[in-house]
A = this chain, B = another copy of it.
Amino acid sequence: MTTPMTKAEKSAGLQLGAGDKVGIIAGSGRLPANVAESLVQAGHKPFVIRVAGEADSGFTGYDGDTLAIEQFGSLLPLLKRQRITHVVLAGGISRRPLLRAIRPTFHLIRLLPRVAAALARGDDGLLRILVNTIEDNGIKVVGAHQIVPELLAIEGRMGAHAPRKEDWADLDAGLEAARAIGALDVGQAAVAIGGRAVALEGIEGTDLLLERVRELRDNGRIAGRKRGVLVKCAKPNQELRADLPTIGPATIDAAHAAGLVGIGVEAGRSLVMDYGEMVARADRLGLFVVGLGEGTRR
């Protein structure tokens, strides 16, 4: 990791005591592994709760357990049994719970009224309920970036390539669109080509969004338009301890396959996975990656 850190990012770092034990609720992607490795390097021994069907099958070798999303009524008893003091929600959870597969437990039944209210408010509401419920039980919920501060996207250029002037029109259009759909609690990403947003992320996620753009290019719907960018930004009311917009080496590959020339992410409110590898890959493929902040130079 060679990311320069700003003062704000450093201060976001968390001081863990000797008696503290971190539980990682592991969804999809490389983030859970990044967090776990970083904890081990700092001398801690994380407990990993893998979300069934989401956690990466290659992410093993840690103390832990696996829970289906429908078994989250058992989460609090498990956290208490393991004497977890801090919980990190890391990685994506794209599936919604199958209501018919939920086994009613005592803890879950106590939660139900809040969960029902949260479901009515969308994804972000649900996350916030999960966070509040864990914290009500004396366990701290912390963001992945508090455990691994260098994950936070910096402002400005990452890597060798920079946006051209015309790419800034795409970055602006993509950011406007991503913000608008974030305000609706629908998604965090948009693809802009030729100065306008052409594809918006819903619950399908960024991988399928980029796959769609690749197909649209292949079948001529974006014929004659080269370049274009992916923009990711946090929702205006984002729960910052979970589900921050994330990019990594795989995002570079997918953006490149979709014929895009760069990626913009919201600085300070997005995560960059495997920074060194991501930058190396972007440099090799000719893509720019830029952290967008209030003062980012156009």
Q: Which residues of A contact B (CB under 8 A)?
A: 53, 94-101, 119-120, 122-123, 169, 176-177, 180-181, 183-187, 191, 194-204, 208, 212, 216, 220-225
Please give the distance in Å from A226's CB to the nearest CB on chain B.
Answer: 10
Closest 6 CB pairs of A and B: A199-B202, A98-B224, A200-B200, A122-B196, A198-B203, A99-B224
Contact A203 B216 (CB under 8 A): yes
Contact partners of A195 in chain B: CB under 8 A = 119-120, 122
Nearest-neighbour CB distance to chain B for A220, whole angstroms, equals 5
Q: A180 — which chain B residues lie within 8 A by C-beta? A: 180-181, 183-184
Return chain B residues, CB-CB under 8 Å to A185: 196
User: A101: which B residues are within 8 A, CB to CB?
Assistant: 224
Q: Are A97 and B224 in contact (CB under 8 A)?
A: yes
Q: Which of B98, B196, B212 contacts A212 (CB 8 A)?
A: B212
Is there contact, CB below 8 Å, between B204 and A221? yes
Inter-subunit contact A204/B197 (CB<8 Å): no
Q: Is the CB of A186 within 8 A of B194?
A: no
Measured CA separation A204–B200 after assembly (Å): 10
CB-CB under 8 A from A225, the residues of chain B are 96
